[in-house]
Structures are given as C-alpha cells and as structure tokens.
Structure 1
Amino acid sequence: MKTLTYVSTKDVNALTWPVTIENINLYSPALSVFTDFKTAAPRVIESSTRADELVRLMRKEHVRMKVVVDANNAFVGVIGLEDLSEEAFIKQVAKGFTRSELLVADLMRPKETLLALSYNSLKNADIESLLYSQKTNELQHLLVIDENNKTIRGLISSSDIARQLKLDIDVTFSSFRNIYKIALLGEVHAPSKLQVA
C-alpha cells in the first residue's frame, strides 16, 4: 500500500484553472472550438430511454445534445433539443404513439442520416472556414470523425463558437447558419424560439 502525503491549505490562495485560449477570432484554429472526446467524455444516452425522460434529464444537466448508443455502447445516432420539441412529440402522437411510450430511438437522428466533419480536415482549418462550410446547417452540433480508426472523435457546438467569438446572440437555439450570418455577414438575426417538450 502507498502512503499519501497531506499538505495544509493555510497558505494556498489560488485555484488551478483550465488553460483557455484568449482572443479567439475567426482566424483562430478550428480546434479551439472543438470538444475532443479524448479529453471530455461524450454525453451519451441509450436509444431505449423514454424520450420524455430525456427531456427532463437534458434540462437538469443543461445539455442541448446527446450521442445515442445502443445497449452495447455502439454509436447509433444523435438527439438534440430540436429533436425533442413539442412539435416532434405531437407528430409522433398523431401517428398513434402515446407520449409516454416514445423512446429516444423514435425521435433521434440515426447515424445513417448524419454527415460529420473529418478530424484531419478540422486540424488544418480556422473558424472562418468552419463556419463557411456550415453556412446552411440549421443544427446546433456537428460531429467530428477520426477517419483513421472510424470513431466519433468529438463535436463542435454552434453555441460554443458564439461564446468564444463573444457574439451578441441568444445561444439557446442558435444554429451554425445563424452564427455564420452574424460572424461573417454581420447580420443581426434573432433565431426563432423552439418550444422544447
């Protein structure tokens, strides 16, 4: 057994904080707005979870998107607040489901329908190029794939970009398209409010 050493905190006045890059701008490396799953664990949810329970959970955790996995922890898709809107629930109820029986699998975006960014291309890009490539993307999150080992390496959040660039925007439901319009075109745009179930 190893012996642990204890030290008094009496003379300690400072905290260690994460290293952050100051003065992020459009020409900063795109990796500066990338959430790398090698250093930050992905937020996952099983596809068999009740959708109404996920809404409660995401509100509690202040999370806008989760990676969906099956019972074996294999990637099957993603689900975001836009997928859990009141309108999405109503559409499913109109198809004959009851609200309480809807699962994440019923409302998620399956992996077969998703496009993700290559990690190798992201490493050589700046934020401006990233936003330009996403100028029509109405979603809030973009997955990044490590093509060398065929894994989801991480993600990019439009709200993280808006915060890093210090844009004057409500990030609650901002999309890459909105961020592009504000950051690159200088448009003032109020995103429409989405009512989450």
Structure 2
Amino acid sequence: MKTLTYVTTSDINDLSWPVIEQNTGLYSPATSVFTDFKKTNPRVIEPNVRADVLATIMKKEHVRMKVVVDANNNFLGVVSLEDLSEEAFIKQAAAGYMRDELLAIDLMRAKEDLLAVSYKSLTNSDIESVIHSQKENTYQHLLVVDEENMSIRGLVSANDIVRQLKLSIDTATSTSFAKLHQVIEGDYANSKRLRVA
C-alpha cells in the first residue's frame, strides 16, 4: 500500500482549468470541438432502461445524449433529450403505449437511421465546414466514425461549438446544428471575431 501526502487547502485560491485554445474561430480545426472517445469515455446506456427514468437521469447528469449499447458494448444507436421529450411520450401514448412501459430502445434513433462524419475527413476540416455541412441537422450531436477500425470515435456537439466560439446563444437549452448555422449566417455573418485564421 502506498502512503498519500495530505496538505491543507487554507492557502489555496486557484482552480486548475483545462487548456482551451483562446483564438478558436470558424477556420479553426474541427478537431478543436471534437469529443474523442479515446480520451473521454462515451456516455452509454443499455436499451432496456425505462425511457422516463432515463430522461430524469440525463437531466440530473446534465447530459443531452447517450450512446445506446447492448450488454457487450455493441453500438445500437443514440438517445437524446429531444428523443425523450414530453411530446415523444405523448405520441407513444397516442399509439397505445403506457409511459412506464417505454424503454430507451423504443425512443432511440437506431444506428441504421444515423449518418455520421468520417474521422479522417473531420481531421482535415474546419469548424465552418462542419457547421455548413450540418445546416439541415435538427439535432445537437454529430457522430464521428473511425473508418479504419469501424468504430464510433466520438462526436461533435453544436453546444460545444457555441461555447468555443463564445456565441451569444443560450446553451442551457439544446442547440441544433441547423439553429447554429442560421445564427452564424445571420447574426455573425460578417464577424471578424469568428474568422480567426
């Protein structure tokens, strides 16, 4: 067993913060807004979790999307807070389902219905290209696939882009790529602040 050293915090005033590129702009590498699952564990959930319980868990954890995996961690799809909205539950109730019967697998977006971006193309792209290519995407997250080993490598979040670019968009609610594109093309169309080379 190793001995730990303890120190008092009475004279400590500072916190350590992650190093974030200060001059992130539209022309910054797309990887600067990429959550790499080789560096950060993916937020996963099994398909048989009750959907209403999952919605509560995700709100408490401040997580807006989880990757759905089976017992062997095989990728099945994704489920977001948008997928677990009250409207989604009402729609399922109208179809004859009881709220407490619905599982994550019933409301998730299956992998067959998802489109992801190639990790290789992401590493050769910039933030502006990601935003423009996703201008029709009404969801907040874009999956990234590593085609070399055929795995979900990570994701890009529209809210992460908003935070990195320091845009005046409320990230307390979900921001879709479509909304982000609309704001960039409108409010920030000629902003020199965003066009960092």
The TM-score normalised by the length of structure 2 is: 0.88
Aligned length: 187
Q: Deviations over 1:49-89 (max 9, x none)?
A: 00000011011001110000112211100001110111111
- Contact between 1:31 and 1:122, CA under 8 Å: does it hold in 2? yes
Gaps of 5+ in 1: 189-197
Aligned match of 1:99 = 99
Instruction: Give 1:181 shift.
Output: 1.4
**Residues 110 and 7 from structure 1, CA distance in 2 versus in 1: closer, same or farther, beyond 3 angstroms?**
same
Name the SS of the counterpart of 1:83 in structure 2.
Answer: coil
Q: CA RMSD in A?
A: 1.9
Partner of 1:182: 183
Partners in 1 of 2:23 and 2:112 — Cα distance? 37
**Gap runs ≥5 in structure 2:** 190-197
CA contact (8 A) 1:128 1:184 kept: no
In structure 2, what is the Cα distance between the partners aligned to 1:67 and 1:55?
A: 14
Q: How far 1:12 sits from its partner (Å)? A: 6.4
TM-score, normalising length: structure 1: 0.88
Instruction: Determine helix, strand or coil for the equivalent of 2:138.
Output: coil
- The alignment-based identity, stated in percent, is 60
* Matching of residue 23 in structure 1 with residue 23 in structure 2: yes
* Partner Cα separation in structure 2 for residue 54 and residue 12 of structure 1: 38
Q: Which residue of 1 aligns with 2:193?
A: none
Task: Tell me how far 1:90 sits from its aligned partner.
Answer: 1.0
The corresponding residue for 1:6 is 5
Verify the 8 A CA contact 1:24 1:164 in the aligned structure 2. yes
* 1:159 is aligned to 2:154: no
Find the counterpart in structure 2 of residue 38 from structure 1.
38
1:173 CA displacement: 2.2
1:4 shift after superposition: 4.2
